[in-house]
Amino acid sequence: MASQDWFDKDFYAMLGVSKDVSAADLKKTYRKLARKYHPDSNQGNTKAEAKFKEISEAYSVLNDPAQREEYDQIRAMGSGARFSAGGTSGGGFDDVFSGFGGPRGGARGGRGGSAGFSQEDFGDFFSMFDQGGSSSRFGSGSFGQTSGGFRGYGGPTKGADVTARTTLDFITAAKGETISLQSEEGKPFKVKIPAGVADGQKIRLRGRGRPSPDGGESGDVVVQISVRQHPVFTRDGLNLRVVVPVTFTEAALGATIEVPTLGGDAVKLRVAPGTPSARVLRVKGRGIQTAKGTGDLLAEVQVAVPTHLDDAARAALEKFQELEPNENPRADLMTKARG
């Protein structure tokens, strides 16, 4: 990159920050912009890619204290100075070095010719920017050069994420718990499982992954959660579902029944007379409890048909059949099917 860019480009404006922005706010702003304009999120968008390169270059310079100081000093000299390669075009190094007196040991060339500066002259110029005792040179990476970054676009690269997997029982996933896992290096680490975590959900541990190769933030540990099925309950969002068998007489005549809850005491529910199979009875607040809310317990009634009848029970049902209303419960079904 020609160092003329440092005169012509306002890195603070590119990032939308003030010149006295703190390192923390600078990093926060850059991360937000990097997520917005990253090529992976803007496939085929050349404008976004160009913007990403621009903000990455700006951050690469301003995030380095030494480069930021050099940049501020160069910008303070004014944008009228020009850095360019040799040749016959106007401008050149001569515009800048003209303020440092004549060359030692020889006459200075014209604006388009050789400047005639010795190595010592260049050393005098660059010593202006060497406030920290380190040499500042073109092409060294410390004077207007970007290094590392997203696919070479500049800016620090985030370390790689590490994936871990764990399987929880249903109640642990519902109630939440702190568990121990093992890293790839065999070191144990703690993971807090929030209440209500669902099967297939991922928990991200920020900064616990692989370190950055060029001084950026470390990657994350991504824990993939699997939840074992419960023999009685199933998840429906934050609600819990349970199928509750009732007898024919309980459904027909009505009854008060007990329904289990997850890891707690049973609750009593009233089954109204004439309740059909598949009717859902709701128990408020007895579902999954999370920081975002609490679900309900949904009890689905299922009429249980007796598989064995003694003679007295059979006779009683046959008598009941004689007294039943002469209605066909499938009549409406057949009518709708015929269309």
Of 22-26, 163-167, 270-274, the range with the highest mean pLDDT is 270-274
Counting residues of the chain whose pLDDT is more than 90, the rounded percentage is 40
Give the global pTM. Answer: 0.53
| Spatial separation of the C-alpha atoms in residues 90 and 80, rounded to whole Å | 13
Better-scored residue on pLDDT, 133 or 24: 24
E strands present in the chain:
162-168, 177-182, 188-193, 202-205, 221-227, 234-236, 239-247, 255-261, 264-271, 280-283, 289-290, 293-294, 297-304
Alpha helices, DSSP H, located in the chain? 4-8, 11-15, 23-37, 46-62, 65-76, 93-97, 119-126, 170-175, 248-253, 311-323, 331-338
Integer CA distances (angstroms), 218 to 26, 41, 199, 210, in order: 18, 21, 27, 6
pLDDT of residue 104: 41
Of 140-144, 260-264, 282-286, 318-322, the range with the highest mean pLDDT is 282-286
pLDDT tens figures, 22-51: 999 999 999 889 888 887 778 888 888 888
Q: Are strands 255-261 and 264-271 parallel, antiparallel or unpaired?
A: antiparallel
Check whether 83 has a pLDDT greater than 60.
Answer: no
pLDDT of residue 107: 41
Amino acid at 180: S
Least confident of 6-20, 64-78, 96-110, 202-216: 96-110
Per the CB < 8 A criterion, the answer to whether 298 and 236 are in contact is yes
pLDDT of residue 154: 57
pLDDT of residue 11: 87
pLDDT of residue 4: 55
pLDDT of residue 329: 85
Q: Which long-range contacts (CB under 8 A, 24 or more apart) does 138-144 make?
A: 138/3, 142/64, 142/66, 142/67, 142/70, 143/3, 143/67, 143/70, 144/1, 144/2, 144/3, 144/5, 144/6, 144/61, 144/67, 144/71
Per the CB < 8 A criterion, the answer to whether 330 and 338 are in contact is no
Task: Please state, as a whole number, how many other Cβ atoms lie within 10 Å of the Cβ of residue 30.
Answer: 21
For each of the domains in the chain, give its residue range(s) and CATH number, in order of start.
4-152 (1.10.287.110), 162-227 (2.60.260.20), 234-334 (2.60.260.20)
pLDDT tens figures, 200-249: 999 999 988 888 888 888 899 999 999 999 999 999 999 999 999 999 99
Check whether 314 has a pLDDT greater than 80.
Answer: yes
166 — pLDDT class (breaks 50, 70, 90)? very high
